[in-house]
Amino acid sequence: MPIKIDSNLPAHKLLENENIFVMTEERAVSQDIRPLKILILNLMPTKIETETQILRLLSNSPIQVEAELLQTATHEVKNVSKEHMLKFYKTFDDIKNERFDGMVVTGAPVENMEFEQVDYWDELCRIFEWSKTNVYSSFFICWGAQAALYYKYGLKKYQLDKKMFGVFEHVSLDTFHPLMRGLDDKFWVPHSRHTEVRRGDIALIKDIQILSYSEKSGVHLISDMECRNFFSTGHSEYDRDTLAKEYFRDVEKGLDIDLPENYFPDNDPSKTPEVKWRSAANIIFSNWLNYFVYQRTPYDLSTLWQEGKGKWEIFTYQATEEEIRILRISR
């Protein structure tokens, strides 16, 4: 997918070096198509690394994507320059009158705190509420997923006895679901978290379903029944060395941290980790963009929410009986 981003963004050069098609503004405006507008709410302290990881995954499809980076105004960013944030990031006040085809919300290293204790929680809730009418489909990652599940459904998170840390094998619980199309019977996903959501709690909420699961790391992908909101407890976007960086960082701090599971060859941290989650990551994000953003969002985003009707318009897309059976969408 040609992805349109500012040519001065650090990710631009990094992705070009990987032979990923990054489109300039000048070329984008010459094409007689409307790109998908995707908002990325980046809550991670490693802004540049995370924005590059997400943009890389959004690039793997034949559709043009226009990405917008969003930060929370109520939290002071310390790990990246103010110049970078001012130049490339917007705040909610900047975009609250806009509409987007899709939104990605990243994780954040605040999971040991209660949701309400996070300094930008109120602002995040406003963004979640705004997205109901201004974003067609959203994809939430790790703590971002836990936060959205708590806000939307009151789903609690639970503290783990020790950090879920490593790359774990998963299986699909609904192999016919379009988000899961193309995945192997077993696929790998990195996890790095101290908390979890539980399968039994999710089963009590009729409006959401579990799509994939791991015997070791638990619930992975969750969807609402309208397939407008997707929640991932893992980090499919991670680079080869992301878990290694987290491990060595904690070792240097003197923290009690285990080696990430199924990651370093022979459990030897001096060896280069083998990537075994990249293909699954690309499939999941490509399926989300194709089936749940591109094929369903309206061409004219100003019609996204029909004021006064109190409902979403699904526009010209009509699900087949088989899709309705598979997706269990209530129209």
Beta bridge partners of 105: 41, 140
pLDDT value, residue 31: 43
Beta bridge partners of 69: 40, 89
pLDDT value, residue 302: 85
- List the catalytic residue out of 49, 51, 237, 246: 237
In-domain check, residue 232: yes
pLDDT value, residue 6: 66
**235 catalytically annotated:** yes
Measured between alpha carbons, how far is 59 from 285 in angstroms, rounded to an integer? 9
**142 catalytically annotated:** yes
Q: How confident is the model at residue 331 (pLDDT cuts 50, 70, 90)?
A: very low
Tell me the mean pLDDT in the region 129-158.
97
pLDDT value, residue 319: 39
pLDDT value, residue 22: 56
pLDDT, one tens digit per residue, over 75-125 is 988 889 999 999 999 999 999 999 999 999 999 999 999 999 999 999 999
What's the mean per-residue pLDDT of the chain?
A: 87
Share of the chain above pLDDT 90, in %: 74
By mean pLDDT, which of 39-53, 105-119, 309-323 is the weakest? Answer: 309-323
Q: Look at phi and psi of residue 154 and say left if phi exceeds 0, alpha if psi is from -120 to 50, else beta.
A: left
**194 catalytically annotated:** no
In-domain check, residue 194: yes
pLDDT value, residue 295: 87
Does residue 3 register a pLDDT over 90? no
pLDDT, one tens digit per residue, over 154-190 is 999 999 999 999 999 999 999 999 999 999 999 999 9
- Are 201 and 154 a contacting pair, CB within 8 Å? no
By mean pLDDT, which of 8-12, 234-238, 264-268 is the weakest? Answer: 8-12
In-domain check, residue 245: no
Q: How confident is the model at residue 330 (pLDDT cuts 50, 70, 90)?
A: very low
pLDDT value, residue 304: 82
In-domain check, residue 78: yes
- Are 134 and 100 a contacting pair, CB within 8 Å? yes
In-domain check, residue 64: yes
Containing structural domain, residue 65: 3-240+275-327
- List the catalytic residue out of 12, 49, 142, 196: 142
In-domain check, residue 268: no
pLDDT, one tens digit per residue, over 201-260 is 999 999 999 999 999 999 999 999 999 999 999 999 999 999 999 999 999 999 989 999
Number of domains in the chain: 1
| H or E element at residue 4 | strand 3-4
In-domain check, residue 128: yes
pLDDT value, residue 298: 87
Tell me the mean pLDDT in the region 35-47.
96
Does residue 297 register a pLDDT over 70? yes
**Position with higher pLDDT, 243 vs 59:** 243
pLDDT value, residue 28: 46
In-domain check, residue 247: no
| Other beta carbons within 10 Å of 39 | 24
Q: Could you tell me which residues come within 8 angstroms of residue 120 by beta carbon, excluding any fewer than 6 positions away? A: 43, 72, 73, 74, 75
- Assign residue 224 the CATH number of its domain: 3.40.50.880
Does residue 29 register a pLDDT over 50? no
